[in-house]
Amino acid sequence: MNVKDIPVIAIDGPSASGKGTVAQRVAEKLGFHYLDSGALYRLVALVAMRAEIDLTDETALADIARDLEVVFAGAKIHLQGEDVADAIRAETCSNGASRIAAYPKVRTALLQRQRAFRQLPGLVADGRDMGSVVFPDAALKIFLTASAETRAQRRYKQLMEKGIDANISTLLQDIRERDARDSNRSVAPLQQGADASLLDTTSLNITQAVDEVLRQYAEICAKAV
């Protein structure tokens, strides 16, 4: 089978929009593989910060991206044998990832690694440019968003549940700054593609958002028969 025949659902959107949780649950429902592309950028940020590498050193960061020894196993992310799933969710890592994602060399280094996740029976991928750059031929492209205030509340709740102190005003400011950075970068900026379906989850819960993605995918499959 040609790899292009393996179905992909691409879910893009801004930080803390809930796209990761939605994508993961859609993948579980369909029995598809799941790619959290943001985790790769967070991993590069984590490795760089631990090695005290300047986050403005694009070449060094691209080398890290190319040589990442990472294994995704369900909710666990093993970096050289260490589970760093929680470590990469820290706000310092999130902000570092957003800065790193603006570098063309880093994005190029991670491109083939991301595309390798496309395996039978299918893939659900979430990120910023899954539908526009990584999987432009995706069967379904969703741009999932929510208001900045709603996203700050969700991030706050998520961090508090993990026992991580957070300030909602600071989170809201970080989210707005990250939106601006992600939307205005020169390479693969965050934006809704003309062929992507907008899904605003401001007034939706996770189950409703998942059901809507599944409905749209079922509709596409029905048309293809």
- The mean of the pLDDT values for the chain is 92
For residues 178 and 98, the answer to whether their CB atoms sit within 8 Å is yes
Q: How far apart are CA 213 and CA 121, in angstroms?
A: 17
Q: How far apart are CA 90 and CA 158, in angstroms?
A: 11
Question: Which range has the worst mean pLDDT, 6-20, 35-49, 85-99?
Answer: 85-99
Q: How far apart are CA 28 and CA 35, in angstroms?
A: 12
Q: How far apart are CA 48 and CA 52, in angstroms?
A: 6
Could you report the per-residue pLDDT of 144-184, keeping only the tens digit for each?
999 999 999 998 998 888 888 889 999 999 999 989 988 88
The tokens describing 104, both together, are 């063309």
Could you report the per-residue pLDDT of 32-63, keeping only the tens digit for each?
999 999 999 999 999 999 999 999 999 999 99
pTM over 0.85: yes
* Domain architecture of the chain: domains with CATH: 3-224 (3.40.50.300)
82 three-class SS: strand
**Residue 225 pLDDT greater than 80, yes or no:** no
Q: How far apart are CA 98 and CA 107, in angstroms?
A: 12
Q: Where are the beta strands (DSSP E) in 74-178?
A: 76-79, 82-83, 123-127, 140-145
**Residue 8 pLDDT greater than 70, yes or no:** yes
pLDDT of residue 48: 97
For residues 11 and 142, the answer to whether their CB atoms sit within 8 Å is yes
